[in-house]
Amino acid sequence: MTVTEEKPRIETPVEDHRVGAGAFRPRQLLTSVPDALRKLNPRHQLRNPVMFVVWVGSVLTTVYAIGEPSVFSIGIALWLWFTVVFANLAEAVAEGRGKAQAESLRRTKKETVARRVTASGGEEPVPGVELKVGDLVIVEAGELIPGDGDVVEGIATVDESAITGESAPVIRESGGDRSAVTGGTTVLSDRIIVKITTKPGESFVDRMIALVEGASRQKTPNEIALTILLSTLTIIFLLAVVALQPMARYSGSEQSVIVLTALLVCLIPTTIGALLSAIGIAGMDRLVQRNVLATSGRAVEAAGDVSTLLLDKTGTITFGNRKATELIPVGQSTMDEMVEAARLSSLADGTPEGRSIIELTGPASAEPGGEFVPFTAQTRMSGINIGDREIRKGATGAVRDWVREHGGDFPDQTERAADEIGQQGGTPLVVAELVRGRAFVRGVIRLSDVVKPGMRERFAELRKMGIRTVMITGDNPLTAKAIAADAGVDDYLAEAKPEDKMALIHKEQEGGRLVAMTGDGTNDAPALAASDVGVAMNTGTSAAKEAGNMVDLDSNPTKLIEIVEIGKQLLITRGALTTFSVANDLAKYFAILPAMFVAIYPQLSVLNIMQLHSPRSAILSAVIFNALVIVALIPLALRGVRYKPSSASALLRRNLLIYGVGGIVAPFLGIWLVDLLVRLIPGM
């Protein structure tokens, strides 16, 4: 009896509306100006050593411009202030998008009155803010869930659109991996009892608000390292500029404080110093746009450095709902006997596999009574006892032991059928029956699982990025090998238990590799905590969400691949703009240094490649360009450099070619164009 499996419907992916919300719009620059001006507070500027030096230079040149006003001194002072404001603007725009998202989340927070279960079993109304960890609350259809927790009794449909943006209701029930509920969501049907797991003010929504606003954002290790590098370069250039004045005085061409300040600002890496914070905030924001909550920027960076990806087979690589597609009788059993045994053994099996067996065999006119035998991890079988008949269904090895224990034979045909199904990527279930004290094998059920379309191409892209993919499954090695080959993963771990996952993670990390994985159950919590990037599903248990450092609100395990790409994009964007900034500074030397000393050393005029109008116009033009280039790069910092899967060496060559060469060429063209306008100003 064979049934052709219906091909899974492939829907065309639709661009999520939240992704569009993250696109940069010029209007954001105007609306963020007040926040940028508020950030001129020196205590805020102290957090960024490079821009603090520019801030001090702005104050210094302003004092000199007031004492000795001229078009040149006032122009330098104004554009240095613009440089600081534009740097603040980049951060303000990035934070502004997070504040808009936080505001929409705040609107979902409503003060509720909870129905708390009393010690006597009754209920009492209490304000939601007074709930404590461990309290049990009753929530019925139409009521808001008063706090984060786990369903401990009942099953209900829940509207989580306020949190996830997804309008379709979800099922939440006790006793499984889909028991976690979020405060502020609405129960649509039935009645559940929820055990509160968080304190007031520390709920999931509260943490989301703090994270997207940037209130709890701390610098990541890479940001700290880059900040130290930029601070070191700033100190070196500061010492160089300070040492320049005695040399200039000795040569008879003493420079003013305004000129020296302008030189310092143009030579230090102001571009990347101004955009560094915005790049980090934008990386977190891109995750939020895809409905992923990262508990820290460190997790986003780690995603970019991941070299091993652990992926569950079921629901991630495959659709997950295995269906019975074929019944194979063996030995002396007939097809009718096989059909009856398979159906009876699945009557109490509420899993998708069990239901599919009932669909395949068809319901009987009258179901017999009997004692149902549930599946356990120890027996790896389930079934039913009807009078003197015992029917079992389960893994090949478990049923083989059971049959032989009861004096029966296990035909070679059974082993061959099971091996063939496994080699073809299916899962075999063996059905056996005990009649009058003797066991017989009735046949083998083929369960088919389908690899999601496009997975092979996605894994090929990851391979180009230097990332090794490992499929984790509880299937037997033969089935795991077949599906791994079909999906195109690099390796697989079959018959995996929680301790096996932990061992694999530690083994990978011993080689200096960073590991990422997804999970949703309490048994996944240790592995999520041990991995460098642990992505917990929002539908999962509270333990899983606490253990991971990211939570996927859409509960889509394949999103781990997108998270890695976002992390890569963050690192590449930071590297590209650092390359551009350093290259930029090299080009500015040709604008300012010849202008400062050409009066004493006419030979320096050969370095005036841009043929700038005068020393003053050259210096002012360089300062103006230095400020404007920050504004020009804000969209790129927020959007991120376009990422294409390739090797590290290829990415380095691309960065050097585009942003290194571009960083050298852009100032020559930009300063020359600005000089054409500046020379029109009287006194230049």
pLDDT by residue (tens digit) across 398-437?
999 999 988 888 888 999 999 888 777 778 899 999 988 8
pLDDT for residue 9: 28
Is residue 375 marked as binding?
yes
312: annotated active-site residue: yes
> Does residue 41 register a pLDDT over 80?
yes
Amino acid at 402: W
Confirm whether residue 379 is marked as ligand binding: yes
**Res. 63 pLDDT band, cuts 50 70 90:** very high
Q: Is 179 annotated as a binding residue?
A: no
Residues 425-473: pLDDT tens digits?
Answer: 778 899 999 988 888 899 999 988 777 788 888 888 888 878 889 988 8
- Is 524 one of the annotated binding-site residues? yes
- Is the predicted pLDDT of residue 217 greater than 60, yes or no? no
pLDDT at 8 (0 to 100):
31
In 124-220, where does DSSP find H-type helix?
161-164, 204-213
Query: What pLDDT shows up at residue 216?
Result: 47
The mean-pLDDT minimum among 333-337, 474-478, 533-537 falls in: 474-478
Question: Which stretches does DSSP call E strand in 103-169?
Answer: 113-117, 123-127, 136-140, 149-159
Contact status, residue 222 vs residue 279, Cβ threshold 8 Å: no
Q: How far apart are CA 32 and CA 34, in angstroms?
A: 6
Average pLDDT, rounded, for the chain: 81
pLDDT at 75: 92
Q: Which of 285, 312, 449, 552 is flagged as catalytic?
A: 312
Give me 247's structure tokens.
């040399």
- CA dihedral for 44, 45, 47, 48, sign (positive or negative): positive
Q: In this predicted model, what pLDDT tens digit does every residue of 246-296 receive, in sequence order?
A: 877 777 777 788 988 988 998 899 999 999 888 888 887 788 778 787 777
**Does 520 show up as a binding residue in the annotation?**
yes
The answer on whether 9 is annotated among ligand-binding residues is: no
Q: Is 585 annotated as a binding residue?
A: no
Q: Per-residue pLDDT averaged across 394-400, rounded?
A: 90
Say whether pLDDT at 474 is over 90: no
Mean pLDDT calculated for residue range 221-235: 87
Distances (CA, A) of 292 to 103, 139, 559: 17, 27, 9
Q: What is the mean pLDDT of residues 33-38?
A: 88
**pLDDT of residue 648 exceeding 80:** no
The 10s digit of each residue's pLDDT in 349-389 is 777 788 888 888 876 655 667 888 888 767 788 898 888 88
Q: Is the pLDDT of residue 82 over 90?
A: yes
What are the chain's domains? 26-98+212-288+565-679 (no CATH), 110-211 (2.70.150.10), 305-317+452-553 (3.40.50.1000), 321-450 (3.40.1110.10)
Is this prediction's pTM over 0.85?
no
DSSP string, 578-631: HHHHHHHHHHHHHHHHHHHHTTT-GGGGGG-TT--S-HHHHHHHHHHHHHHHHH
In angstroms, the CA 136 to CA 124 distance is: 11
Using an 8 Å Cβ cutoff, are 173 and 150 in contact? no
| Residue 349 marked as a ligand binder | yes
Q: What is the pLDDT of residue 464?
A: 80
Cβ atoms of 594 and 242 within 8 Å: the answer is no
Q: Please write the tens of the pLDDT for every residue from 85-125.
A: 999 998 888 777 666 666 666 665 666 788 899 888 888 98
* Whether the Cβ atoms of residue 414 and residue 395 lie closer than 8 Å to each other: no
Strand pairing category for 515-519 and 292-294: unpaired
380 appears as a binding residue in the annotation: yes
Which residues lie closer than 8 Å to 191 by C-beta, 6 or more apart? 138, 139, 140, 141, 154, 156
Helix (H) or strand (E) holding 285: helix 270-289
